[in-house]
């Protein structure tokens, strides 16, 4: 008989505190979405579930503002969606240009290198954005088959203006990949109007579903490049030539879908549609401006220039006399409010405050401002 190890001496029931999530993600999840998660799962090839997949695609096209047929959900986090975009568009030897002005631009560049891309980067200080002229100049010096940038940089709170960028990329025959993990559903963005080729996001930020899913959409140029690949996609799991066969009418088995996470995303997207994108964008902007004004009234400086601030994620500079981690710990212990510190170059220098999806409510802003006033006073 095989000897068995013993279970742990103690395995208490789950008892998580009720947090107010005002960090860079995940955001708070609406009660309706939480209720849907308790639905008994069905099989991932069940007709009722396949119908929800179709309806989810329709809602995603609304949120992305696209008519792209190849619009689906990657069974993984926003980082999995990022890697899906890169792995499917970049082949060994492809010239790749990545615009890096924060932590997640660096991540895209590293993924592209691992896919065998000939990667060049242009950089801006963390918190600044790129001009179309800078991108055109970089492409004139080194034409690229793939160009990638972050629309809403979670590490800095900067919102990249998108007008004219796709035209610059397409003029040199390139494909444009845009990361909207921290912005889609909370900040104005329209994939088709901006002529973006590949756009992806995460379920857990402005969409306010639980973490674990990565919506992505590919336009005609990207589909053509995918279908003309000379080499197989390096990742079997993230290969869109396979994933699309599960999401389209062929319904070819690919993986066991995360059923309950998918139901939660569907309900979260229904909430987006019920509110309406323009109203949702306006709510995020209103709450952000309330936060920005309140932080400045407390004597705090914001890291990003007003014209480039991302409504869904604010970076505020930590005063020199303050221990940033200590304030975050006190906030969490005394008020159940979670905010985050900086990443990379901004580690220890800023707090990151997220107002995303269900978290973007005026009562949350007031609670945070009141707590900071007390702790910093």
Q: Answer yes or no: is pLDDT of 3 > 90.
A: no
User: pLDDT, tens digit, for every residue of 34-87?
Assistant: 999 999 999 999 999 999 999 999 999 999 999 999 999 999 999 999 999 999
Q: Report how far Cα 185 is from the mean position of its chain's Cα atoms.
A: 10
pLDDT of 63 reads 98
The per-residue pLDDT of the chain, averaged, comes to 97
Q: Answer yes or no: is pLDDT of 1 > 80.
A: no
User: pLDDT, tens digit, for every residue of 224-256?
Assistant: 999 999 999 999 999 999 999 999 999 999 999
Q: Which residue has the tokens 């109007």?
A: 193
Percent of the chain exceeding pLDDT 70 equals 100
Which strands, in side-by-side order, build the sheet including 175-179? 70-74, 214-218, 198-200, 175-179, 146-150, 95-100, 118-123
Measure the CA–CA gap between 274 and 268, rounded to whole angstroms.
10
Residues 6+ apart with CB under 8 A from 234: 87, 115, 116
SS3 244: helix
DSSP 76: S
pLDDT of 358 reads 98
Q: Which residue has the tokens 């707090």?
A: 351
User: What is the fold, at CATH topology level, of the domain defined by 20-26+277-376?
Assistant: 3.90.1150
User: pLDDT, tens digit, for every residue of 186-233?
Assistant: 999 999 999 999 999 999 999 999 999 999 999 999 999 999 999 999
Helix spans in the chain (H)? 31-37, 47-64, 78-89, 103-114, 132-141, 165-171, 191-194, 220-227, 240-247, 259-275, 277-297, 324-335, 362-376
Q: Answer yes or no: is pLDDT of 23 > 90.
A: yes
Predicted TM-score of the model (pTM):
0.97
Q: Answer yes or no: is pLDDT of 2 > 90.
A: no
Measure the CA–CA gap between 150 and 357, rounded to whole angstroms.
19
DSSP 71: E
Q: Are 307 and 320 in contact (CB under 8 A)?
A: no
Domain layout of the chain by residue ranges? 20-26+277-376, 31-273
Measure the CA–CA gap between 182 and 79, rounded to whole angstroms.
12
Percent of the chain exceeding pLDDT 90 equals 97
Q: Are 292 and 313 in contact (CB under 8 A)?
A: no
In order, the DSSP letters of 154-221 are TTTTEE---TTHHHHHHHTT-EEEEE-TTTTTTS---HHHHT-SEEE--TTSTT-PPSS-EEEEE-HH
According to CATH, what is the number of the domain 31-273? 3.40.640.10
Measure the CA–CA gap between 56 and 140, rounded to whole angstroms.
40
Taking residue 51's Cβ as centre, other Cβ atoms within 10 Å add up to: 10
Nearest to 216 by CA among 82, 107, 115, 99: 82
User: pLDDT, tens digit, for every residue of 323-365?
Assistant: 999 999 999 999 999 999 999 999 999 999 999 999 999 999 9
pLDDT of 19 reads 97
Cβ density class 119-151: b for 16+ within 10 Å, e for less: bbbbebebbbbbebeebbebbeeeebbbbbbbb
Q: Are 125 and 101 in contact (CB under 8 A)?
A: yes
pLDDT of 377 reads 84
Measure the CA–CA gap between 194 and 197, rounded to whole angstroms.
9
* Mean pLDDT of the 274-280 span: 98
Measure the CA–CA gap between 105 and 6, rounded to whole angstroms.
46
Measure the CA–CA gap between 338 and 376, rounded to whole angstroms.
16
pLDDT of 185 reads 98
């Amino acid at each position: 008989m095989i000897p068995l190890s013993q279970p742990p001496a103690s395995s208490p029931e789950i008892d998580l505190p009720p947090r107010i999530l005002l960090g860079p993600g995940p955001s708070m999840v609406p009660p309706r979405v939480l209720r849907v998660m308790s639905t008994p799962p069905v099989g991932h090839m069940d007709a009722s579930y396949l119908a929800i997949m179709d309806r989810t695609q329709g809602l995603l096209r609304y949120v992305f503002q696209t008519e792209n047929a190849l619009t689906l959900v990657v069974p993984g986090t926003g980082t999995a969606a990022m890697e899906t975009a890169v792995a499917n568009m970049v082949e060994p030897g492809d010239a790749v240009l990545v615009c890096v002005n924060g932590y997640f631009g660096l991540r895209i560049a590293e993924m592209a290198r691992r896919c065998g891309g000939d990667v060049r980067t242009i950089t801006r200080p963390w918190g600044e954005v790129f001009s179309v002229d800078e991108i055109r100049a970089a492409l004139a010096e080194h034409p690229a088959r793939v160009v990638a940038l972050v629309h809403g940089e979670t590490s800095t709170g900067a919102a990249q203006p998108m007008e004219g960028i796709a035209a610059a990329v397409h003029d040199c025959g390139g494909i444009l990949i845009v990361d909207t993990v921290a912005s889609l559903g909370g900040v104005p963005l329209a994939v088709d109007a901006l002529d973006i080729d590949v756009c992806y996001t995460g379920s857990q930020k402005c969409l306010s579903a639980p973490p674990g899913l990565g919506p992505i959409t590919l336009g005609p140029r990207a589909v053509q490049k995918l279908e003309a690949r000379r080499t197989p996609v390096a990742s079997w799991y993230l290969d869109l030539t396979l994933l699309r066969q599960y999401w389209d009418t062929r319904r070819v088995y690919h993986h066991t879908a995360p059923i309950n996470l998918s139901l939660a995303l569907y309900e979260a997207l229904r909430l987006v549609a019920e509110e309406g994108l323009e109203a949702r964008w306006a709510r995020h902007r209103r709450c952000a401006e309330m936060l920005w004004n309140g932080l400045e009234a407390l004597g705090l400086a914001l890291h990003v220039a007003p014209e480039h601030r991302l409504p869904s994620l604010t970076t505020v500079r930590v005063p020199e006399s303050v221990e940033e981690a200590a304030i975050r710990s006190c906030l969490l212990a005394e008020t159940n409010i979670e905010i985050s510190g900086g990443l990379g170059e901004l580690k220890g220098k800023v707090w990151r405050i997220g107002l995303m999806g269900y978290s973007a409510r005026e009562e949350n802003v007031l609670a945070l401002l009141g707590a900071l006033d007390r702790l910093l006073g």
